[in-house]
Amino acid sequence: MKRRMDANQEPFGIVAGGGNFPILCAKSAREANKLVIAIAHKGETSQEIEKHAHVTKWVHLGQLGKIIKTLKKNGCKKALFAGTITKKRMFYDVRPDIRALNLWRKIGSRLDDSILRAVSGELEKEGIEIVPSTYFLEDLYTPKGILTKRRPTKDEEEDIKFGYAIQKKIGALDIGQTIVVKDRTVVAVEAMEGTDETIARGGRLTGQGAVVVKVAKPDQDLRFDVPSAGLGTIRQMIEAKARVLALEAGKSLFFDREKAIELADQHGIAIVGIDPT
């Protein structure tokens, strides 16, 4: 889909996954007077992206050649990755083109960062710089400190410290970003299922009172796959009867922050921005 374009605007690419983040990026890029070229993934990206992009190209997961061709055709020198891709889709709903297949054979590790760095490397070979996903939205980073009315108890603070240390070690293996703990015990660790399902599993196992910790990997590449939480996370925690959400300040994104904090306050959930220093 194409919209009216201004020849004086700089083309800017957004490789979009699911969720609201790509929409926010497209809106902010337009406000920054960019010509927004969106690559939207079928089955993941909201059709709302078309309202905010000047050009939208829909692709199947794995069509790397089409992504590169679209960005180059529209003159993009910079692009960012934003949004989620359902990881389990790589087992049943991926349609790799020749360029993607060739790259896939070269990748030694099939972990998240390895794949994303390899893909971004292919784009950069074509003269397209991959910038951080927060290029236009740095105010989305989680601030330091207690963000809610309720503070964590001393036991919950100990669980936060425990979970943070463990999750950093897990993150170094590029497995996931979220851990659920209770009474200094690891209850659930995120893998392919994603944060919400990890929280749900933690809730089933603990019954109530779980502490959810989400942090960046030790060598987190802030261009993509930045840890994030938002209103949906709090709703999932309410259902799971979890009591604390701890996010790494300055290295995680917090969407719908005011609404999420308001909802957390209503249900006695504490939200903490962990100081990584």
Query: Given this model, what pLDDT does residue 243 score?
Result: 98
Residue 4 pLDDT exceeds 60: no
230 CB-near residues (< 8 Å, 6+ apart): 20, 254, 255, 256, 257, 260
Q: What is the CA radius of gyration of the chain?
A: 19
Position 92 confidence tier, pLDDT thresholds 50, 70, 90: low
Query: Given this model, what pLDDT does residue 141 score?
Result: 96
Query: Given this model, what pLDDT does residue 48 score?
Result: 97
Query: Given this model, what pLDDT does residue 129 score?
Result: 97
Residue 60 pLDDT exceeds 80: yes
Mean pLDDT for the stretch of residues 170-193: 93
Residue 90 pLDDT exceeds 70: no
Domains and CATH numbers, the chain: 10-130 (3.40.50.20), 141-274 (3.40.140.80)
Mean pLDDT for the stretch of residues 176-198: 95
Query: Given this model, what pLDDT does residue 106 score?
Result: 80
Mean pLDDT for the stretch of residues 33-46: 96
Mean pLDDT for the stretch of residues 44-67: 95
Cα distance between residue 174 and residue 176, in whole Å: 6
Sign of the CA dihedral with 137 first, then 110, 107, and 168 last: positive
- Who has greater pLDDT, 89 or 61? 61
Query: Given this model, what pLDDT does residue 111 score?
Result: 62
Query: Given this model, what pLDDT does residue 116 score?
Result: 84
Query: Given this model, what pLDDT does residue 91 score?
Result: 64
> Could you tell me which of 137, 171, 145 has the C-alpha nearest to residue 21?
137
Residue 2 pLDDT exceeds 60: no
Cα distance between residue 88 and residue 234, in whole Å: 24
Query: Given this model, what pLDDT does residue 1 score?
Result: 52
